[in-house]
Structures are given as C-alpha cells and as structure tokens.
C-alpha cells in the first residue's frame, strides 16, 4: 500500500482521535453540520482584487454565484466556472472559497463559483442544470462581466469534477466551445468495485460506503447511464483539453485515471497530476500538497488561456 504523506497522515490521525462518524451513517443535515465543523480552521486567504456575490436566474429560481477577480484592470479576462465538491449533498460558496481565490490569483483568470442546488432536496438533474445554466450565463454576459467568451473553462473537485465533466460533454454536444476542463479527483461513474475502491474502502476520509451514500442521495440506479451524470456515456471526441488530478489513496483514483485514458483515446489533450500518498479532499485543505495541487491547476489554466 502507498505510504501516506506525513501531513495527510496527521489529518487522518486527528479525525480518528475525534472519532468522526462516516457520512454514510448520518442524515443529510447531520452530514452538512459535520462538513461545516471540519472546515472551522481559518482558511488560507489568498488575496484577490475583488470578490462579488451575484444572483442570476437559474432553472428553478435564483442561483447564487461568487465572482473572484485577480485584477480590476483586465476587461477581456479568461474565466473559470467552478463547481465545488461535496457529493452533490454538501458544500456551498464558502467551501469553494479557498480554491476560488487560489485559482483566480495564480491562474490569472476570473473565477465564477456556483452555488448549485443540493440533493436530496434537489436530486439529479438539478445540480447539473444549475451548473450548465451558470456556464451559459457566463458566456452570454461576457461583455458586462468583462471576460473573454472564447476563453471559458469549467472545473470542479469531486462531485464538482463530475459536474464539470458533464457540462463539458453537454456543451460540446450543443456547439458551445469551452477552452479547458479542470477535473480534480472527479466522480465519474457509480462503479464501486475498482482497484482503488477495493484498496481504500475505508479509513482514508472518503469511504466506499460514503460514496454510495452520496450517489443514492443524488440519483437512482436508472439514471446513472445518463451523460448528464456519467460523462463516459456521452461523446468525448471534440472535448476541450483537460487537466486531471488524482490522489493515490483516494477511492476515486481508478475512475479518474480511467477517464483520463478515455479522453486521450478520444483525441482530447490531457495533462495529468497524480500525487502519491494524498487522499480525497486535499485540494481544498490548507496542506502543502493541497497548495501544490492548486498551483499546478492554476498553471494548467494559464497554459490553456495563454496567459503570460
């Protein structure tokens, strides 16, 4: 088994000492309370020029977004539309604040972070529809937002990575040209017997039982071959370039690797980053390996956007 990074082992030891319950044993409300408690530590504040909360007309009412600007001078900036993680059940604009700030500041782009509807109150396809609507809103309102509609990327971590991958597939099918997709340990399909699921089923923050719990809150079994929830069921040829991050001690590692393989086989330009000894969730943690991952993601954005 891969040896955990010392800073990651320290996180898992602290969680074990606190006897934190697995998400699969909780109600959605209890899981959200626990998720909030887990991020009570002061965040790593990365300075940006402006943070603005906006509301747009979503598919089923108001949809909140948070816009991060690295500078107020560029009126033709590239943009990343970002979808937070949390298994489609957890998370909000605040949980996406650290990556939002970091990717804007280091990636030289505007970041539009999306507060999509959560399951089980709003099951599939609500989250996908909100993320697609926010992406289209960003492109349609490029002039007023001061962004370049030809340099729009989508990205997200975990369930947010799933949403980004699905939005990329759907956008391509509709003739919407995106510039890049940033997929951070993405959820791809509901297959719980992969090598990484077998090896890291429990004890590594995200468990197999927990991931099954998330899937069951978001979808039913009949929906899991829909390309709006499983991007592998869509057409991958012609998709924008992708940066795919995987962590070796993450139950989702195998599916992230496999999706990167499938993208490459379809002719998509793929850049990979895999970190030995990292676990699910580090991208949003104030750890050295998290900061390094965010820096690498930001560099991939700069390359895709041709930012000097």
**In percent, how much of the chain has pLDDT > 70?**
98
Q: Report domain extents, the chain.
A: 6-305
- Specify the pLDDT at position 308: 72
Query: 39 pLDDT band (50/70/90 cuts)?
Result: confident
Mind listing the pLDDT tens digit for each residue in 84-109?
999 999 999 999 999 999 999 999 99
CATH 3.40.50.1820 correct for 6-305: yes
Mind listing the pLDDT tens digit for each residue in 14-25?
999 999 999 999
Task: Assess whether 150 carries a catalytic annotation.
Answer: no
Query: 75 pLDDT band (50/70/90 cuts)?
Result: confident
Among residues 217, 250, 254, 291, the one annotated as catalytic is 250
Average pLDDT, the chain: 96
Beta pairing, strands 110-114 & 180-184: unpaired
Task: Assess whether 250 carries a catalytic annotation.
Answer: yes
Mind listing the pLDDT tens digit for each residue in 184-196?
999 999 999 999 9
What distance in Å separates the CA atoms of residue 118 and residue 279, rounded to the nearest whole number? 24
pTM of the predicted model as reported, rounded to 2 decimal places: 0.97
Which residues fall within 8 angstroms of residue 263, CB to CB, at 6 or more apart?
236, 239, 242, 244, 270
Among residues 102, 170, 217, 280, the one annotated as catalytic is 280
Among residues 113, 158, 189, 300, the one annotated as catalytic is 158
- Specify the pLDDT at position 145: 95
- Specify the pLDDT at position 243: 98
**In percent, how much of the chain has pLDDT > 90?**
94
- Specify the pLDDT at position 41: 55
Mind listing the pLDDT tens digit for each residue in 152-191?
999 999 999 999 999 999 999 999 999 999 999 999 999 9
Q: In what order do the strands lie in the sheet with 147-157?
A: 50-58, 61-69, 110-114, 77-83, 147-157, 180-184, 241-247, 270-275
What distance in Å separates the CA atoms of residue 287 and residue 292, rounded to the nearest whole number? 9
Mind listing the pLDDT tens digit for each residue in 121-151?
999 999 999 999 999 999 999 999 999 999 9
Task: Assess whether 122 carries a catalytic annotation.
Answer: no
């Amino acid at each position: 088994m891969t040896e955990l990074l010392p800073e990651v082992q320290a996180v898992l030891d602290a969680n074990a000492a606190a006897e934190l319950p697995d998400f699969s044993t909780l109600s959605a409300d209890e899981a959200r309370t626990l998720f909030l408690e887990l991020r009570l530590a002061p965040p790593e504040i990365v300075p940006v020029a402006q943070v603005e909360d906006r509301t747009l007309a979503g598919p089923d009412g108001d949809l909140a977004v948070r816009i991060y600007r690295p500078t107020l001078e560029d009126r033709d900036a590239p943009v990343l539309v970002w979808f937070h993680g949390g298994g489609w059940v957890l998370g909000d604009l605040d949980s996406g604040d650290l990556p939002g700030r970091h990717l804007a500041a280091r990636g030289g782009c505007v970041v539009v972070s999306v507060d999509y509807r959560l399951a089980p109150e709003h099951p599939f396809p609500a989250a996908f529809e909100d993320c697609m609507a926010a992406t289209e809103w960003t492109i349609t309102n490029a002039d007023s937002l001061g962004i370049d509609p030809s340099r729009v990327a989508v990205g997200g971590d975990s369930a947010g990575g799933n949403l980004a991958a699905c939005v990329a597939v759907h956008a391509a099918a509709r003739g919407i040209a995106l510039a890049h997709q940033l997929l951070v340990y993405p959820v791809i399909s509901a297959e719980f017997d992969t090598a990484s699921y077998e090896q890291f089923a429990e004890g590594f923050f995200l468990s197999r039982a927990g991931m099954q719990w998330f899937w069951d809150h978001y979808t039913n079994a009949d929906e899991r071959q829909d390309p709006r929830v499983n991007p592998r069921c869509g057409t991958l040829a012609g998709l924008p370039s992708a940066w795919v991050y995987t962590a070796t001690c993450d139950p989702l590692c195998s599916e992230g690797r496999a999706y990167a393989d499938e993208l490459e086989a379809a002719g998509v330009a793929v850049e990979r980053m895999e970190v030995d000894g990292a676990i699910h969730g580090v991208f949003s943690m104030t750890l050295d390996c998290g900061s390094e991952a965010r820096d690498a993601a930001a560099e991939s954005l700069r390359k895709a956007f041709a930012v000097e």
